[in-house]
Amino acid sequence: MAKGILVGILLHGFQLVIITIMFAVAASMPGKSGEAIGYSAVAAPFVCGATQLLYMIPAILIYRRKGRTDVAKGITIVAAITLLLNASCFGLLWLGSRR
């Protein structure tokens, strides 16, 4: 299961690299690049929760098909923790802005 947790954390690391590249591309665009970065920063909690499904679910399915259920469980744990942290941060921001 420890290997699955490590794989899940590494997958999140790759996502952070991709998001950083997207921000760099948006910043280099002429015109309204500042607005694009601002919208991206606001949408980051949504993006993280939604895009993790694109790489976590296939990774879980691949490891389950190979019979490595412990690794799949570790990846599932990392995905669940990310989902809970994402939801709690969004909830705090949402409730904090309504006061």
Q: Is the pLDDT of residue 67 over 90?
A: yes
CA 2 vs CA 58, 64, 76: distances in Å: 19, 15, 12
Q: Is the pLDDT of residue 35 over 70?
A: no
Q: Per-residue pLDDT averaged across 40-64, rounded?
A: 79
Phi-psi region of 68 (alpha: psi -120 to 50; beta: other; left: phi over 0): beta
Question: Number of C-alpha atoms within 13 angstroms, CB side, residue 31?
Answer: 5
**65 confidence band (pLDDT: 50, 70, 90):** very high
Residue 50's closest CA among 22, 81, 82, 25? 82
Query: Which tens digits make up the pLDDT trace of 76-93?
Result: 999 999 888 888 877 777
Residue 74's closest CA among 87, 84, 64, 86? 64
pLDDT at 97: 67
The lowest-confidence range among 11-15, 16-20, 33-37, 84-88 is 33-37
The reported pTM is 0.74
